[in-house]
Structure 1
Amino acid sequence: MAHHILGQSRTQTTLFPEVLEDFITEDNPVRVIDIFVEGLDLQTLGFEGVIAKGKGRPGYHPAILLKLYIYGYLNRIQSSRRLEKESHRNVEVMWLLGRLKPDFKTIADFRKNNGKGIKGVCRRFVEMCRQMNMFADSVFAIDGSKFKAVNNKSKNYTPSKVKFHIDRVEKSIEKYLSQMDTKDKDEKAADTKVSASKLAWLEARLVELKTLEKEVNEHPDKQVSQTDPDARLMHTHHMERRVCYNVQSAVDTKHHLIVEHDVTMTVDRGQLTSMAAQVQKALGKKNITIIADKGYFSRNDIKATQDLGMTANVPQSDTSGAAKKGVFNKSLFKYDKNKDMYICPAGEELPHRRNVTEDGVEQKVYVNHVACSGCTIRAKCTTSVKEPRKMKRWVHEEMIDAMQIRLGDNPDLPVLRKQTLEHPFGTIKMWMGATHFLMKRKKNVSIEMSLHVLAYNLKRMMTIMGTAGLMEAMIA
């Protein structure tokens, strides 16, 4: 007689109790988590509660909760309430925690109160990867990606947005006052009461907006986020405006491991030196190569990175606006290094005249008043009637010239940068899903990001070395 595979009866008892160890295979990733955490000096890393208190109710050892969080972020379970549920029903979590079942408040407080320790664990894993010789090539791509904050866009205010809301409320108040003035005497009292109530609400709202306007205008960034005060309204990849954090990362181009990361509230420009210096510190070596996109181009940053002993490759963006003005672009003026002068499109020489400092950058000015005044193509060179066309050159421009030559000789560098950075950012955002950071304020968001990075690097190493191979390397 034909039949299907039958399951075990739910009321059937067993002679010998089942052992959790039997449910966890030898190559299960939870074993990697267990070995990694057990090998850490949590007290040195800065975790609270490593040494048990001599009185009161005993607490959980931080290793237990750290294992739970690493497992959660590896398996797209970041919520403390969901992690609590997993400890009751998930066999892998039961094995990992020794059947302990911490409540969601204990789990959430551990993450909130152990930021220093969690960041230290993230750095410790990178150090472990370095000891395994994973960063031998010393080529790293740096970029930023916008991660949505808890703060909704409707709760973020800029000067223009506050003004728009104030104008709208003021118009509504005028409208209601006008309606109340023209009401018929025999109109029902209930209607008048409703209008008065609405008017009172609008007037109270106007007071709130006026207070908010003052707060926005006094803020250094000219914007206020009410839910998460540290989050900022930024342009995302698709030019949408969202309330986000800009997460910076430095990624190894060979294995796509995240060596360093940082949560910022600003744009990419100005972040290059800071991120590159952190990579140097993490690897304990100065001679590294950095690749970044044109959003990071800053002359002072390029010089600073090279002064620190590294090689930077950042394409220069053309921000002169000459094309829009209908005049010759700077690229048409050829620089003569031996004579230290520029040759204009008309073939005239523009010698060095003086130095000026603009926005903290010292520049050399090249100009030829005589040649420019009688030039037949002057209209194509400058829109000014009185002033001649001037060329400005940074005093350390040879660094930029050398960098542009390197980029020209290695056209695959932009492709390498893109391929390197899309992998970790894409993976982490996929794990997060169509959601945002769970915590508020930059300090707490940084803790969340460290857990995401740790989970990503751990998963990446298991893919590269295999679960068994990584466990052997950790034990050795």
Structure 2
Amino acid sequence: MKFINGTNRNQLPLFASSIDDAIAQDNEIRLIDLFVDSIKLPDFGFTFDFVENGRPAYHPSDLLKLFIYGYLNRMRSSRTLEKECSRNIELMWLLKGLVPDHNTIANFRKNNPKAIARVFRATVKLASHFELIGGSLVAGDSTKLRAQNSKKNNFNPNKIERHIAYIDAKLEEYNSALAKEDGDVLEKQIIAKKIKKHTIQKQKYIGYQNTIDSTGVTQISTSDPDSRQIMTRNNISEVAYTIQTTVDALHNIPIDFKVTNENDSKAMGGMLRRAKNILGHNNFTAIYDKGYHTGSEFDYANRLGIDVLVAIPGVSAHAPDLAFDVEHFKYNITTDSYTCPANETLTTNGNWYAKKNGKSITQMKHYKTTACLTCELYKKCTKNAKGRLIERSQYAHLIYENKVRIDNNYEIYRKRQAIVEHPYGVIKRQWDFYYIMTKKTIKHASADVGLIFSAYNLRRIFNLIDQNLLKQYLKVLALYFGTLRAIFEDFYGLFCFTNRKATFKQKNFNCSLNHIYLLTD
């Protein structure tokens, strides 16, 4: 039987070929190379001021190319990327044979969260240049990415109290056993060792409780201090980070992200402010789910001049008869009063009352009537012995305006999930990036998420734009910024800082002048 046979491993090729010939011209690795070369890295905040002495550093562009390639190919581990540099022909071409150590790779990601965020902004600008950003409709939402911190190593006051109570019970049991023990020295030593172990554990939990009491935090995570135990879905909780995103509707491209450890209730205002700065105008509509339905955030959106469509949450408390729920009470703006379903008028004394909800305080007015106690529909309306009381928030008019917009634009609101969930589906289901790769502090988590969304945007751009057109555009930018980078490096090399004294390097001067002549010709 005949089979297709490979070539002899020991046979030398008749014609030598370069590694560039092994990479197809339409391979996206060439686009990654051009994209990184087309951005002005010194302005992004990457470190270039390395000391002259010692082993030379890797250029930030090489490490950035490595990470973008890795994230686009579902590889985030620094050790995996190090290994791939030695055996992956695409990475050999991309890094020109460089094999950075895994510590170097990991430190680059960890130490450059702000610079990586600017790389993400560069992907948004690239998409905008090719008109992939519509800028008229955006959707905001959040997703949870599990942190590098187990539930076991996350503590809140109730959990600490349970641990201390358990230890106290065990210590009482051991002390009682120790008191009854007579003569057996070995057994006493075993019990004493257990008492010491539990005492140390108790002091640890008392320390956690003191930290909570003194700092005001609600939780302590020992492996990743900024992570929090958050409800994810169906009453299932995870120690995670919340990733807030704003996604443009035209091609489902994220234009903004932020890593937090808080819920959605106070997130909308900041997202809208950043979206306005990114798009350069406020003539767009933003869609959110009911988790963002907060009066103060409506006020923020109103001051920004942005129309929002936020889902209306269900009523938290119902009247004995649903026909008497607060939504059936009609507000009269002229008289500042409510008319109930029984056609009675509820008035206010005009005073504002502070109502605390979590960390926020909202000003409320109270509306009531003396007619409640003699009304035949009283039992259907309220269980309050003093009669029905209506609370009206200082933001009630903005909440009502949102309701009107939802009623008039419901078909637009229905697009929310299709817009904002698209990136989450790719990132978490296709790429399996359902957890944060880095640990210890929210800044490190932001670097990981920044690379995830940078890779996602590049994947969308590579799929939507003709490759030849994209190459031509990136080549022009790469040529321009490559020339600037050469000037930067030459001028930086003009001075050698030793013993705090600058010594001129004449040999680099002519090279720098040549670059200047090229640009000013």
Q: TM-score range by the shorter chain?
A: over 0.9
Give the counterpart of 1:80 among 78, 81, 84. Answer: 78
SS in 1 for 2:398: helix
Give the superposition deviation at 1:64.
Answer: 0.6
Correspondence for 1:214: 210
| Aligned AA (1:254) | L
Correspondence for 2:400: 401
Q: Aligned partners of 1:296, 1:413: CA distance in 2, in Å? A: 17
**Conservation of the 8 A alpha-carbon contact between 1:355 and 1:362:** no
Give the counterpart of 1:120 among 114, 118, 121. Answer: 118
Give the superposition deviation at 1:184.
Answer: 5.7
Distance 1:211 1:362, change over 3 A: closer
Correspondence for 2:129: 131
Aligned counterparts, 1:133-212, within 5 A: 133-183=131-181, 185=183, 188-212=184-208
Q: Deviations over 1:216-271 (max 9, x none)?
A: 33332221111111111111123212111111000112211110000011110011
Identity percentage over the alignment? Answer: 33
TM-score, normalised to structure 1's length? 0.92
Distance 1:413 1:190, change over 3 A: farther
**Conservation of the 8 A alpha-carbon contact between 1:87 and 1:93:** yes
**Conservation of the 8 A alpha-carbon contact between 2:296 and 2:395:** no
SS in 2 for 1:295: helix
Does the alignment pair 1:444 with 2:440? no
Aligned counterparts, 1:44-443, within 5 A: 44-49=43-48, 53-183=51-181, 185=183, 188-323=184-319, 328-337=324-333, 339-359=335-355, 360-369=361-370, 371-385=371-385, 387-430=386-429, 431-433=431-433, 435-443=435-443
Q: Aligned partners of 2:392, 2:172: CA distance in 1, in Å? A: 58
SS in 1 for 2:4: coil
Give the superposition deviation at 1:139.
Answer: 0.8
Give the superposition deviation at 1:200.
Answer: 2.0
Distance 1:196 1:394, change over 3 A: closer
Q: Aligned partners of 1:208, 1:281: CA distance in 2, in Å? A: 46
**Conservation of the 8 A alpha-carbon contact between 2:298 and 2:395:** no
SS in 2 for 1:269: coil
SS in 1 for 2:143: strand
**Conservation of the 8 A alpha-carbon contact between 1:142 and 1:250:** yes
Q: Aligned partners of 1:123, 1:46: CA distance in 2, in Å? A: 13
Distance 1:429 1:203, change over 3 A: same
Q: Aligned partners of 1:449, 1:138: CA distance in 2, in Å? A: 25
| Aligned AA (2:259) | V
Give the superposition deviation at 1:474.
Answer: 3.4
Q: Deviations over 1:73-116 (max 9, x none)?
A: 11111111111111100011011111111111211221122222
Greater CA drift, 36-45 or 193-202: 193-202
**Conservation of the 8 A alpha-carbon contact between 1:273 and 1:301:** yes
Correspondence for 2:454: 454
**Conservation of the 8 A alpha-carbon contact between 1:87 and 1:99:** yes
**Conservation of the 8 A alpha-carbon contact between 2:139 and 2:416:** yes
Instruction: Let me know the Cα RMSD of the aligned residues.
Output: 2.2
Give the superposition deviation at 1:28.
Answer: 1.2
SS in 2 for 1:170: helix
SS in 1 for 2:56: coil
Q: Which runs of 5+ in 2 are unaligned?
A: 356-360, 477-521
Q: Aligned partners of 2:285, 2:392: CA distance in 1, in Å? A: 25
Q: Aligned partners of 2:204, 2:438: CA distance in 1, in Å? A: 28
Q: Which runs of 5+ in 1 are unaligned?
A: none
**Conservation of the 8 A alpha-carbon contact between 1:292 and 1:313:** yes
SS in 2 for 1:322: coil
Distance 1:297 1:113, change over 3 A: same
Q: Aligned partners of 2:316, 2:447: CA distance in 1, in Å? A: 40
Q: Aligned partners of 2:295, 2:283: CA distance in 1, in Å? A: 20
Q: Aligned partners of 1:396, 1:163: CA distance in 2, in Å? A: 39
**Conservation of the 8 A alpha-carbon contact between 1:159 and 1:217:** no
Correspondence for 2:18: 19
TM-score, normalised to structure 2's length? 0.85
Give the superposition deviation at 1:152.
Answer: 1.1
Give the superposition deviation at 1:469.
Answer: 4.2
Greater CA drift, 285-294 or 10-19: 10-19
